[in-house]
Structure 1
């Protein structure tokens, strides 16, 4: 977790890679890294996603690679064996949380209510995903959570964009923001990885205006 936190302090953005082709997954990860984002989340929304995540891990680049959209304990075990260095879920599942805590594997379960955040805290988690951020109350809701759950840090994802990135990152209890705007499907399908790198650079520059 220390290495992950250090990376996120330097560039507090986690881009989502949603790709079924392993070669395109690797090329996308490299393009993001070139733009200054070395922590990536590969979402398991297609049959080829796991192979793509493993290919990124095997490429030997200095990336921290996580698995997203992990729904079951079996998936959690599978992605861990495949090399995932952190796990992200759309919701909070106690069984996955306990597995990750036992394995020392960073876990970011999706939360959107005070009850879910409190449950995560009771389980021993101190970092959670706030999802879907724009629909769950956005910045005002996170401000309210921060005043109550003072040890918790949040990763808002869902509806985060260049237009509101700095608002989220201005909150001291926001660890990082996750987002798919950095990996546009049209550009990746066309092999336009320069666009991905440019979007990553833009995001890093925006983050630096708030975090330095």
Structure 2
């Protein structure tokens, strides 16, 4: 997460599409990938994707949109390398701590960020990023400078948008719909997707340096 500065956030009900997207992301330079628990068959797709991902050296595959300990437990059994939640859920935090697994809670207030930090969160997801904005990151960092924050939701793969986020002090960014063009994926143009991800990673590297 630190090296690339970006985590792709993706879900799809078709395992073959998910495999192709994961391969394109890896070949573009991604090493941490978040699949989300949003489709009715997300668990089955994730299980197959985890097996497929084992051929990619150094790749960490996590699961997002986790609201319960039961879901966290199921996906951990399926091999999830980390757990991401859209909200701060103490029981999920306690469970992941017990398992020694990285968990990333979604927070939208200073109180939630403080509670997440108190529960041992190593990384906090600012969500929804498009509503909170970079000003929220600056405010939190001014009083809790050691907190690592990842905005997700509304992050765009553009010079202007990424510069604003990284200038505010984010640790990395989560990027979903802005990165994964539905038409490109629908038509199977994965080389275009790979190029877009690679360009975005290069842009982040330039901004951070």
Q: Structure 1 residue aligned with 2:135, among 137, 140, 144?
A: 140
Query: Is 1:202 matched with 2:199?
Result: yes
Provide structure 2 residue ranges, at least 5 long, that are not aligned to the other structure: none
Query: Is 1:23 matched with 2:16?
Result: yes
Query: Is 1:154 matched with 2:149?
Result: yes
Kindly indicate whether the alpha-carbon contact (under 8 Å) linking 1:16 and 1:41 is maintained by their aligned counterparts in 2: yes
Residues 9-57 of structure 1 show CA distances to partners (whole Å, capped at 9, x for unaligned) of 2211101111011111111000011111121100111022222222222
Q: What is the TM-score of this pair, normalised by structure 2? A: 0.92
- Pairwise CA RMSD: 1.3
Find the aligned partners of 1:36 and 1:134 in 2 and give their Cα distance: 25
Give the superposition deviation at 1:150.
2.1
In structure 2, the residue corresponding to 1:9 is in which secondary structure?
A: coil
Kindly indicate whether the alpha-carbon contact (under 8 Å) linking 2:38 and 2:65 is maintained by their aligned counterparts in 1: yes
Give the length in aligned residue pairs: 203
Q: What is the TM-score of this pair, normalised by structure 1? A: 0.91
Provide structure 1 residue ranges, at least 5 long, that are not aligned to the other structure: 1-7
Divergent runs of 4+, >3 A:
none
Kindly indicate whether the alpha-carbon contact (under 8 Å) linking 1:133 and 1:159 is maintained by their aligned counterparts in 2: yes
